[in-house]
Amino acid sequence: MLQSLLIANRGEIARRIIRTAKRLGIRTIAVHSDVDAAMPFVREADRSECIGPAPARESYLDGAKILAAAKKTGAQAIHPGYGFLSENADFAEAVARAGLIWVGAPPSAIRAMGLKDAAKKLMQDAGVPVTPGYLGEDQTPERLKTEAGRIGYPVLIKAVAGGGGKGMRRVDTADAFADALASCKREAASSFGDDRVLIEKYITAPRHIEVQIFGDRHGNMVHLFERDCSMQRRHQKVVEEAPAPGMDDATRTALTGAAVKAAKAVGYVGAGTIEFIADASDGLRADRIWFMEMNTRLQVEHPVTEAITGQDLVEWQLRVASGEKLPRTQDQLAIDGWAMEARLYAENPSAGFLPSTGRLAHLNLPPGIRVDSAVEEGDPVTPYYDPMIAKLIVHGATRAAAAAELAAACRAVEVWPVKTNAGFLARAVLHPDFVRGGIDTGFIERHAAEIVPPAEPDASFVAAAAAALLPTDNSDPWLALRGFRGNAAPDTQVAVGVHGKTYLAQPVPAGAAREIGGEQVLFLAGDAWAFAAPVPRSSGQDEAGDGAVLAPMPGAVIQVTAAKGRPVQRGERLLVLEAMKMEYVMVAPFDGMVVELTVSAGSQVEESALLARIEKAS
């Protein structure tokens, strides 16, 4: 077994690896950027080294700095986690040249599966079914548009070197192709240093189903069954589960067999995931499931596989890297019950899921379940990295039991003042279509009106919260609340003022009231509301009276299409802001003239910074 391990990652990923490594008696070493110096993963490691400033490319993605830290700390092995460097074949080779053990896939397999076009050709040769599309080397916009028309709209443009939904766009018409292609290539170049794309047929009722595979250096290969990752928003996974709903034994046998065949075709070693897309318009069928891509690493959603198999996959990784055989053979693996995972993000669903940053003054995550968290109360959520706060993982005897437990866990989340998607997650897994297994990758978009929380609570909720939170002062008729009693109907003649409005007092809902930083906050069903005068703030998308277009969060301006003195129409693109690994298009709030433009491509901006000002057309 390995003696010391450097984890070339951060947040919940690093904490997850440290937990298993310590159980196995392995000395752990964390590397961190300067802004992460006080984060939990740094404190929990046996030793830590700072490797640079906040931007990932100057710290966590700098292979030379990581190798220098490994040499300085006497690390025996490097674990890249399940992101950042885990699929970088050059870095894996550099680790080996430095005399260190690489806890990951062989560089040859990373290269073979890292480029989507080459991977699909390889899978076709191995007899694995692949989706229809264009994988050619001609990357001219004209050729790509021609191929999209041949395949038939809608199509998906996907970065050849992509992953995690980056560099991916759905295009429904030929007229929209050019803009989508340009955006895709720009995002791909920024995220992967490679702007090449491929074109795929877009499946109208798609299910995203993936198979966990594992190989060792002794020629053994097993699968640990499938996961369903169809609950997505903008190609980012939101809720994952194992096994996949509606999967019969025959289809599972065909699917897992294809996954093992794919892994063997590249001589795979370690943890990997074979991802498939299924046309679920007529249920899951073996002849309507196609290879999509392979992720040559452990996945963020691996805990649901651990839950149904009873295996620790990080331990498997460390044992395989140590030269041991796989801990289990295929006939020793079986599915036990049902597991689900929800990704709790620092984001505001009612404001278009914009990332939310700040210090976690209050953080209460649900007890009694597995929680893989990145942060603790008092820690900051910065704009530099992925905005995940934690993963909530449940395991039940049945799918219905798991869904009910996950909903209860999401409803119990309390986070302030950073916004989260907890209430959104709870509503999603309680939706009747989700409960019956009627999911596909369009579920969230289709049911957004029912599951995305409103910008403000309804009047009855505000009144109830006011009754619970505002102090009683019998000398003030607005705050007397003399009718509120637990065993009697409320006195509807009593009213309270909240946010400048007046509401009748109502019975208090079952929620948790807290005083946090001088604010009265009510947590209810995963949502959080502060009852204090709000500070008006434009997101840049609203029809602000003065036409000010403000940055919704800190970020970098990557494109400017507006020009001072030029007329614009309502909804016209002004510029593109990149923050937390996502692109945000800022548009004109109304018809008018650009009278002020304060940024250019490459500008770094803070939250609420003035980007442009539009003067209304007379």
359 C-beta neighbours (distance < 10 Å), count: 14
Residue written as token pair 């038939």: 152
Among residues 357, 365, 356, 359, which one has the least CA distance to residue 379? 359
> With 0-12 CB in 10 A as exposed, 13-18 as middle and 19+ as buried, what is 306?
buried
Contact 426, 434 (CB under 8 A): no
What the block records as the tokens of 436 is: 């019956």
What the block records as the tokens of 65 is: 């700095």
Residues making up the chain, counted from first to last? 618
DSSP code string of 468-497: HHSPP-TT-TTT--TT--TTS---TT-EEE
Which helix (H) or strand (E) element contains residue 102? Answer: strand 101-102
Q: Max Cα separation, the chain?
A: 83
Among residues 268, 407, 388, 391, which one has the least CA distance to residue 326? 268
Residue written as token pair 């277009």: 549
Among residues 492, 491, 497, which one has the least CA distance to residue 476? 497
Among residues 63, 67, 79, 41, which one has the least CA distance to residue 317? 79
The residues annotated as belonging to the active site are 297
Q: What is residue 167's three-state secondary structure?
A: strand
DSSP code string of 97-136: HTT-EE-S--HHHHHHHHSHHHHHHHHHHTT--B-SEE--
Q: Which sign does the torsion angle of CA 244, 345, 63, 293 carry?
A: positive
Residue written as token pair 């049902």: 338
Residue type, 214: F
Rounded Cα distance, 214 and 268, in Å: 8
Contact 138, 109 (CB under 8 A): no
Among residues 296, 275, 285, 238, which one has the least CA distance to residue 158? 275
The dihedrals phi and psi of 128, each to the nearest 5 degrees, come to -95, 130
Secondary structure percentages of the chain, helix, strand, coil, to 5 = 30, 30, 40
Q: DSSP state, 281?
A: B
566 vs 563, 588, 592, CA distance in Å?
6, 12, 9
In 360-405, which ranges are E strands? Answer: 362-364, 370-373, 380-381, 388-396
Q: What is the 3-state secondary structure (H, E, C) of 530-560?
A: ECCCCCCCCCCCCCCCCCEEECCCCEEEEEE
